[in-house]
Chain A
Amino acid sequence: MLNPKQADKIASAILYAIAGFVILILAALLGYILYQGVPHLSWHFLTAPATAFTAGGGIGIQLFNSLYLLVITMLISFPIALGAGIYLNEYANKKSRATALIRTAIEILSSLPSVVVGLFGFLLFVVQFKLGFSILSGAISLTFFNLPLLTRSVEESLRTIPDLQREAGAALGLSRWETVGHIILPAALPSIVTGVVLSAGRVFGEAAALIYTAGQSAPALDFTDWNPFNVSSPLNIMRPAETLAVHIWKVNSEGIMPDAAAVSAGSSAVLIIAVLLFNFFARYLSGVLFKRLTATK
């Protein structure tokens, strides 16, 4: 039998080993992608259109599609999440069964596999509503995927604002809505913004919900045509739009692009760098907003 002191030493050694191993995996993971991917990054790679059968294609259109889809998704999902978060934290009767049921529904939505959400989007928007493979179908599907998390983050941000502020508004004859709109929301803004940017990172990398909604093709775009009603305009929301994440999946599963590995590595590096940027940006922005909120003018 080991005495407790020996057991303690052995256990510590094992824990060090496990942690070391995990650090190794994680570092290798990041290192591999960046090492493989970063050398491929060039202005040409980031801006040129993809080529299906020859090497040397870029990811310009996919990158634009990812960003544009992200913007449209946020435009749709943020107001809904904001409203839902406000209702849950400011109006809902916290003890009622109806509220508990609604919370359960949101939790279930957040735990649904994104492929199921994508298939639902495909069934309802692409097929039933005849929107086709389009940015709009994709953005709505991503909205469903994004709403639960974003709603929760809005709600939690609002919850951190002390009730004293709500009472202050109420005692001045302001309605709950006015107090929330002008006092509570501005105070909660730094953490709401963090939530939005972090969820943007998630949306940016999502692929499974998109392959059957925004589609897997990236038709050529005319970057001089900014009329959203023209077919080849980048702003057209009814066009199919393969995103960067979908592109990685597609070139790998089709296996016809000669430099698929290189393109995937480059795209993966871009995705990871984007997630990194989203993280930094979220921290930076919330810091700036917080400072402005408490600043002495």
Chain B
Amino acid sequence: MKLGLLLKNAFRDSRRDRSKLVLFMSSIVLGVAALVAINSFNYNLVNDIDNQAKSLLGADLVFESNKPFQEDWIKVMDSIPAEKASEVALLSMAYLPQQSQSQFVRIKALGGGFPFYGKLLTEPENVDFQKEKTALVDDGMMLQYSAEIGDSIKLGQETFVIGGRLKNAFGSVDLGSGFAPTVYIGRESLAATELIQPGSLVDYSIFLKTADDFNPDEWRDSKRDDFRDNGMRIQTVEGQKENLQQAFSSLNNFLNLIALVSLLLACIGVASSVLIYVKNKVKSIAIFRCLGMNGNEAFLIYFIQIFVLSLVSVLIGAAIGSGIQMLLPIVFDSFLPYEVDMNMSWRAIGEGILVGSVITLLFALVPLIRIRNISPLRTLRSSYEEEQGKFDRLEWGIYALIILSIFGFLWSLTGNIKDAGMFTGGLLVAFGILFGVAKLITFIVRKFFPRNWNFIFRQGLSNLYRPNNQTRTLIVSIGLGTAILTTLFIIQGLILGNVGAMGAGNQANTILFGIETKQKDELAEITRNYDMPLMQETPIITMDLYGWKGKTKQEWLADTTRTARRWAINREARVSYADSISKNDKIIAGEYTSRVEPGDSVFVSLGESWARSLDVDLGDEIVWNVQGALIKTYVGSLREINFRSMDTRFFILFPLGVLEEAPQFHVLVTKTPDAETTAAYRNEVVQKFPNVSIIDLGSILVTLNDILSKLSYAIQFMAGFSILIGLIVLISSLFLSKYQRINESVLMRTLGAVKKQILRINMVEYGLLGALSSLTGIFIALLSSFLLVKFVFELEFAISWLPILVIFILVTLITILIGLANSREVVNKPPLEILRNNG
């Protein structure tokens, strides 16, 4: 048959039923819209990185170290033709005398004209905070404590005047700034605070604005390893771009996954709408066949219809998607270090159209190819059924193609075969469970049908398995939507719950650190005065790894055959000593030595993971450089370290009798009974010992909550897409099946059923469907969140059932409501009209 004739017939055939496919289209529209919006947003984001990276870094070349830069290296830097600035950053407590409040802050002491590109947003503009005794304080912190410009802030031993508000945290993302807000002071004023002591945790940076003819990247590449092996890092604008791109690509991958799931959900809607559409057309198809059309031509007539509709939907979706992307910067505001300019992204649109039409058509093909097998015999016998369950090679080929294209899409997204495979597998399992449950339910209802229940229940129940039932479609679409939503809630609740549980019962909830040896006893005294326990008092000594197994660190670094990992070698060694290990740790090899006498060999205990990365074992020799003095030790035991409690923990633990005289700080762990006591205790400690920092679990929780709620806002926005699509799939599949229900309802009404009874039957049916699918979805969510929590987040798994119960009830109610809204129309139609339309 000629193409023109096929087109003509496709057109004619669709003209009276096109409205039935509008809803089917809308689910594709949304799915593609999600995909295009997310990708456009991402491309714009990446585009802007190029424009913004320079002003995010603020300089051409940045050096970072956690020790003061040494003369030799400063000489190397000075050999570069450049303008120079420097910064010293550290964490400390700040005290606001006017407000009598204390806060854990990040102090940045800046000297020179940094940033060279971009600028610090301040109020008033261009505050000169580098002049004596002036500080620039984070706007959020000032608002929190109602501090005003002109008030004081005490950092260590020095009191500063607040000269202005800092409106943007420079070069970093907004998240977590509530935990340690930034305070800028002048580099010259830092000494007066007396916060820098040997062994304090300090970050030193030097910023260079290089001359135009100097290539910072080339220079970095030639010097990077040298600097790194001496505990320094070099950053350039290019490097910054790569970091940003990496960070965004994870965000983008995650969003794309949600979009893909939405699109798949939409495709289930497509497949089921097409299936119902084809079922309604079986009679026509049989007539076509009877009049001499062959199977492939009949297939083409419907394929053309679906193809055109899909294409139109995909195009509309792409258009809407590029509109929606304008909203995304608002949603993701707190993750973005800069303002993103939104432009049309033709690449995203093209990709969305391609992925959208391929997946949609593949899903639509599954019911469409069954047209080829519809027998012309159906013209003679309306009840004639083709042989079911016959193996159709083409159908399985299409399933394979669907899986392959999902896998391909994921692969191109993540760039990782394994991740793509895992996620495809996960999707298959989820779909498998949902289909399996749907099958099981129809089977069980059929097998154990409660014959003596009342009429309404029996009718509602039997609707689950009778011809043209909606069980499978609804369970898959509602179930998948519920699963996504519930997983989100469970994980969010678990992370907060796990952190919250750290302070429960007799567990510690407050840590003081940066305590000097001479302050130790008085601080213990203060703590006891508050009736709080001294749960742990631990010394900390910072030292360098000098060498191990007979070679120095420099020799090892030069050795190309070494097995030790670079991060383990360059990691700063923060060491403690004690007569026994923490009760949270576990010795897994060797024995712990409590004390050594002068002249004895020193046996230290190492964290197992660090020891493994350094490739040392029991008995191996390790030499440490403790602020100039070399100490030779042997590995005496390995420990498994538990990170789940709010105690201090150390990869390296010395016995008593070695480090007592070395320069050191102390950590004190305690438990405060309530927030008021915490505040009073904190204020007293800060005023007496300005160098001591206090972190309490309460403020960590507040910060974490803040981060998670911002995250979940973004996730929920995306999940909203899935849910909306799920609803549309729900509505459209009910809408399509409505026509098949009309005759039945009319018949029942003719036989004397009242409207109420019919509505009740539907209520039972949709109530069952809603309940069963949300239960299945919740089950999948429990499974996936259990796996995520155990293997990705490595937290304890525990569930709070209340939100899950709420989700369950809501989903079931919505299903019933939509089901009833649909059947109202059926119920209200006069029987006569229905008979004519369905002749």
Asked if A pairs with B, the answer is no
